[in-house]
Amino acid sequence: MQIIDSEKGGITILSVSGRMDATNVNEFDTACHAKLENGVSRMVIDLKDLEYISSAGLRGILSLEKSVRAGKKKIAYCAMQPMVADVFKISGFNSILAIYPSLDEALAALS
């Protein structure tokens, strides 16, 4: 898994690529929580290059969501590949997370 950090219009974008599973979900947790602890209040998780997510990866997403809500911050997820989108749908995450088809739509929602 690789995480690339960027910013657009004052919104932090973390682009995640590869696979998110038990072997590397801690990298995702560390990167996201470090941003929140450093004062980031709006963040987009761009998943267009994420090829696979396991149940451990879903737990990482859920942990991030709880931290964001507790801190009254905003987060959006976007551009999921079909397999990843199916996992989110089957797990019910699409009903509790702000998910957008594209990065531009996610950025607009947080602006």
* 3-class DSSP state of 3: strand
pLDDT greater than 90 at residue 33: yes
User: C-alpha distances in angstroms, 97 versus 7, 62, 77, 85?
Assistant: 21, 9, 8, 12
Domain 2-102 CATH superfamily: STAS domain (3.30.750.24)
77-99 pLDDT per residue, tens: 999 999 999 999 999 999 999 99
Question: If you average pLDDT over residues 17-44, what whole number do you get?
Answer: 95
For the chain, domain boundaries: 2-102
Instruction: Give yes or no for residue 27 having a pLDDT over 90.
Output: yes
What pLDDT score was predicted for residue 91?
94
Q: Give the model's pLDDT for residue 103.
A: 97
pTM of the model: 0.94
Report the pLDDT value the prediction gives residue 71, as an integer from 0 to 100: 86
The DSSP annotation for 9-58 comes to TTEEEEEEEEEESTTTHHHHHHHHHHHHHTT--EEEEEEEEEEEE-HHHH
